[in-house]
Amino acid sequence: MSSLDRVPAPIRADMKRAIRLEWFNIGFTVSIIVVMGLVLGNSQTMKTAWIEDALGLIPPVVFLVASRFERKKATRDYRYGFHRVHSLAFLIAAVALASVGAFLLKDSVMTLLSREHATVGTIHLFGHGFWLGWLMIAAQIYSIIPPLVIGHLEMPLSERMQDEVLHTDAKMNKANWQTGAAGIAGIVGLGMGWWWADAAAAAFISVGIISDGWKALRVAAAELVDGMPRELGSTSLDPEAKRLLKKLQDQYPGADIRLRETGRYIHAEICGVDPDRRQDLEALWPGKPERSWRLAQLSFVPPDQD
């Protein structure tokens, strides 16, 4: 049995949409990397934005890999199945997001400290000399549009699917379009003679990206050490999980109730109680019935074996 078997059809349709969206995301990101690479020049802002766009490939790639594994059934060597690949993918995406923020902050602070004045010269096109900054701005505008659209489409999907990797990718897309906007402000600022403008804008934006990346890292770490399920995109405990915990505590007073999250699913363990009857997972779910698929497993550990 694969983890997806209990997932209702609308969520499975969302997953297919998310996979399609991530392929588009990869295609557009590669095209952005090529376009930006053609007009990099000497601008540090452009180089930074280019590296960030390249790092932006990590979340969609790990999402696609994790989704592929999620569809696989348990094997002889992996008897628990592959739920946890999603947790691993989330950690990788979180590291990528935090790295982008840290990289951007370091780069912009160094530029400000060294008072680096970027040289942006001319380029010859169609027999005329143009300031390369205009081409850089055009490339940055192109680099803003796909992540802006894709990120907005990903956010509601990630909420319905309870998908931290997709949610982190939506954040990465937000980071990318914001960096692109900072890049435009930077090139315009450079053109105005304000050498510090791009670095200051990038430093301001990097703080938000680092905060999102750090939050994602904390949640990913909590998931990997079997912490209580966390709310999507937040380090707070998941309200649905808290209600489930309360319900189980009421049903099994004195038992040690343990909840953990593997990818999008919740596993519950009742320790110190003999399994008295077969629980109906859907009936046990305290939240909206259409999200009851999140409770993937309920297991009992008898008192003498805890």
Q: How far is the CB of 233 from another protein (least distance, A)?
A: 17
For the chain, the straight-line distance linking the first and the last C-alpha, in angstroms and rounded, comes to: 27
CA 286/CA 231 separation, integer angstroms? 15
Is residue 3 within 8 A of residue 67, CB to CB? The reply is: no
When the beta carbons of 25 and 140 are compared against another protein, the nearer one is 140
Task: Return the DSSP state at 230.
Answer: B
When the beta carbons of 11 and 187 are compared against another protein, the nearer one is 187
When the beta carbons of 124 and 278 are compared against another protein, the nearer one is 124
Q: Which residues pair with 269 in a beta bridge?
A: 258, 299
Q: How far is the CB of 185 from another protein (least distance, A)?
A: 7
CA 305/CA 37 separation, integer angstroms? 60
CA 53/CA 58 separation, integer angstroms? 10
Q: What backbone torsions phi and psi does residue 297 show, to the nearest 5 degrees?
A: -160, 140
Which residues in this chain contact another protein in the complex, by CB under 8 A? 42, 116-122, 124, 129, 131, 133, 137, 148, 177-178, 181, 184-185, 188, 190-195, 205, 208
Q: Which residue has the tokens 């090529």?
A: 34
When the beta carbons of 116 and 231 are compared against another protein, the nearer one is 116
* Structure tokens given for 164: 């931290």
When the beta carbons of 147 and 263 are compared against another protein, the nearer one is 147
When the beta carbons of 170 and 273 are compared against another protein, the nearer one is 170
- Helix (H/G/I), strand (E/B), else coil: 295: strand
Q: How far is the CB of 174 from another protein (least distance, A)?
A: 9
Q: How far is the CB of 192 from another protein (least distance, A)?
A: 6
Count Cβ atoms within 10 A of the Cβ of residue 13 and give its class: 0-12 exposed, 13-18 middle, 19 or more buried.
exposed
When the beta carbons of 122 and 236 are compared against another protein, the nearer one is 122
Angle at 22 between CA 18 and CA 26, to 5 degrees: 175
Q: How far is the CB of 231 from another protein (least distance, A)?
A: 23
CA 69/CA 4 separation, integer angstroms? 11
Angle at 156 between CA 154 and CA 159, to 5 degrees: 105
Q: How far is the CB of 18 from another protein (least distance, A)?
A: 21
Q: How far is the CB of 35 from another protein (least distance, A)?
A: 18
